[in-house]
A and B are shown apart, each in its own frame.
Chain A
Amino acid sequence: DSGVTQTPKHLITATGQRVTLRCSPRSGDLSVYWYQQSLDQGLQFLIHYYNGEERAKGNILERFSAQQFPDLHSELNLSSLELGDSALYFCASSVDWEWGAGELFFGEGSRLTVL
């Protein structure tokens, strides 16, 4: 158990809909990272928050947004969903803002299926 909690574990929705994925980092960790994992693209970095502030953006679509709240939990919002958004979405955390020296703690992911 990494200590990172993600909900929901599975989500099935239709094209055009909007969903919210939730992540609670390990106790004491200030950074939250979101990744998307698909079979053909592997793990793709989406966005990084540190102590409530956006730190870095990766390949995140404009239809996607995220935030980190004062209690350090984070939410990833995906809107106007398309079939290609079907993937595993992982949240990871680290204690610092420098990617924990490479040691990220990952949750078990949220599997999104868009029909």
Chain B
Amino acid sequence: EDQVTQSPEALRLQEGESSSLNCSYTVSGLRGLFWYRQDPGKGPEFLFTLYSAGEEKEKERLKATLTKKESFLHITAPKPEDSATYLCAVKYVGNSGYSTLTFGKGTMLLVSP
């Protein structure tokens, strides 16, 4: 059973067309939710950390929000350079008693000029 589910799997937008990506999670004892960006052939790059419901973080055209069961990454007036795969990850304490960072499968965003 997937603990982190991202939707949609892929999204194509026109430049300037705002939209949102979704990340839902089922883990208990959440210790944080994180957004990463991954460009083709590169490693993921950290974007945001969210810890509690109601929290919001912004960076340029991106805004991340968190509720008790999901997070949204809002993209306002995207540009072609925003094209990438956006990964959501949750940190929680696993059965071993140690923290684990589990990633979703990502949303591939393509912004056309």
Contacts and interface: CB of A to CB of B under 8 A. Distances in A.
Interface of A: 2, 4, 33, 35, 41-45, 48, 55-58, 90, 92, 98-99, 101-109
Contact of B98 (A44, A56, A101, A104): A56
A105 B45 CA distance: 7
Given A92-B43, A107-B43, A102 B101 contact: yes
A56 B96 contact: yes
Contacts, number: 62
Given A33-B101, A102-B34, A103-B49, 6 more contacts: A2-B45, A56-B94, A56-B98, A90-B43, A98-B99, A99-B101
B12 to A, nearest CB: 19
A45 B43 CA distance: 14
B106 interface: yes
Contacts of B102: 45
A86 B103 CA distance: 19
Contacts of A57: 96
Given A45-B102, A56-B100, A99-B101, A4 B43 contact: yes
Interface residues of B, number: 24
A35 B41 CA distance: 15
A104 B91 CA distance: 12
Nearest to A9: B41
Contact of A108 (B41, B101, B106): B41
Q: Which 4 A-B pairs have the closest CB atoms?
A: A106-B43, A42-B105, A102-B34, A43-B103
Nearest to A109: B43
A57 B99 CA distance: 10
